[in-house]
Amino acid sequence: MATLSSPTSTHRPYVGRFAPSPSGALHFGSLIAALGSYLRARSQQGKWLIRIEDIDPPREVKGAADDILRTLEAYGFEWDDVPLYQSQRTAAYQAQIDSLLAQDKAYFCQCSRKQIQAMGGVYDGRCHRLPQTQAANVVKSGAVRIVNTAQVQQFDDNLMGHICVDSHFAAEDFIIKRSDGLYAYQLAVVLDDAYQGITEVVRGCDLIEASCRQLSLYQNFGLAAPQWLHLPLACLSQGFKLSKQNHAQAIDTLHPQSSLNAALAFLGQQPVETQGSVAQMLVQAVDQFQLSTIPQQSEILIEP
């Protein structure tokens, strides 16, 4: 059984967030993440911020960011501050990369996917170990990898308890800028959670292992890390999460009451009255919120 620690132990006023990628409309799985993070933040009298993670244009669906915000409104969610768009933050990402490269805390790598497969699937750091003369000749292009000195392998999750990842995964010099020029999620999420002053990250369990990489970056950058709380994932079958990629149905914006109660039930919460407005439903849900009744399961199967 996991130990549930208090999110106020950081002594910072609680700031939570919901960080959707605009790759499609909100579906039941993303409603869980929005609702879980909202209930947790508001039950701590905390702020709840929105960040649109729009730095992957090939995966972006035109109009999805606005659609997500309108859907959240239709469900009665109110956020603090204006939403932050990652596409507006690329100068900060690049400045961090430039500074790391200048200090030999990151390096270019041109190894192909095939080469990495031949290394056993985990990159072995060979481009960083190139002899000086060879390194000078390496074209300054390709992916950028962090020199992963922190190698965080474990952390305590406020719902799932003690999490430990594979040591090779923890030690990998992972990519912080892709060879196609796009900034990696791990870099952007850390710089932005720090920038927005997030004290606890509440999101789906699909990202639980990524938290170790993110903690490595916090250490490397000398930034205060948030706490973590990973929610069960809504899955159609084992290991098959409901997602935009597998065309999960968009949630109904005309009749949000039943989806809200279904999402509350998924999170182990009591149902709320459906006669009033959605805003009233959320107020009641915040009042009733109990962390201890959220199932400590990484996946929960739902009906399609």
Q: Is 19 in the site for ligand GLU (CB under 6 A)?
A: yes
| Closest distance to ligand GLU from the beta carbon of 182 (Å) | 14
| Closest distance to ligand GLU from the beta carbon of 61 (Å) | 12
What letters, b where the CB count within 10 A reaches 16 and e where it falls short, cover 50-86? bbbbbbbeebbeeebbebbbebbebbbbebeeebbeb
Say how many residues touch ligand GLU, by CB under 6 A: 7
Per CB under 6 A, the segment of 14-22, 72-80, 132-140, 272-280 that binds ligand GLU is 14-22
Q: Is 40 in the site for ligand GLU (CB under 6 A)?
A: no
Would the annotation count 185 as a binding residue? yes
| Closest distance to ligand GLU from the beta carbon of 118 (Å) | 30
Would the annotation count 127 as a binding residue? yes
Nearer to ligand GLU, 25 or 189 (CB): 189
Query: In angstroms, rounded to a whole number, what is the distance separating the alpha carbons of residues 85 and 70?
Result: 16
Would the annotation count 109 as a binding residue? yes
Q: Phi/psi of residue 177, each to 5°?
A: -140, 130
Closest CA to 72 of 60, 64, 59, 197: 64
Taking CB under 6 A as the criterion, the residue among 68, 205, 207, 263 binding ligand GLU is: 207
Q: Is 36 in the site for ligand GLU (CB under 6 A)?
A: no
Taking CB under 6 A as the criterion, the residue among 14, 15, 21, 38 binding ligand GLU is: 21
Site mask for ligand GLU (CB under 6 A), range 145-184, x = bound: ----------------------------------------
Taking CB under 6 A as the criterion, the residue among 7, 16, 20, 46 binding ligand GLU is: 20
Per CB under 6 A, the segment of 16-24, 40-48, 147-155, 222-230 that binds ligand GLU is 16-24
Nearer to ligand GLU, 40 or 203 (CB): 203
Q: Is 232 in the site for ligand GLU (CB under 6 A)?
A: no
Q: Is 213 in the site for ligand GLU (CB under 6 A)?
A: no
Closest CA to 48 of 21, 17, 76, 84: 17
Q: Is 203 in the site for ligand GLU (CB under 6 A)?
A: yes
Query: In angstroms, rounded to a whole number, what is the distance separating the alpha carbons of residues 42 and 15?
Result: 9
Nearer to ligand GLU, 207 or 225 (CB): 207
| Closest distance to ligand GLU from the beta carbon of 128 (Å) | 27
Query: In angstroms, rounded to a whole number, what is the distance separating the alpha carbons of residues 226 and 249?
Result: 32
Provide the token pair at 140.
């300054």
Closest CA to 200 of 163, 161, 227: 227
Nearer to ligand GLU, 207 or 282 (CB): 207
Closest CA to 44 of 74, 10, 20, 72: 10
Q: Quick count: other Cβ atoms within 10 Å of Cβ 168?
A: 13
In 38-192, the DSSP E strands lie at: 47-52, 84-85, 106-109, 143-146, 154-157, 161-164, 175-177
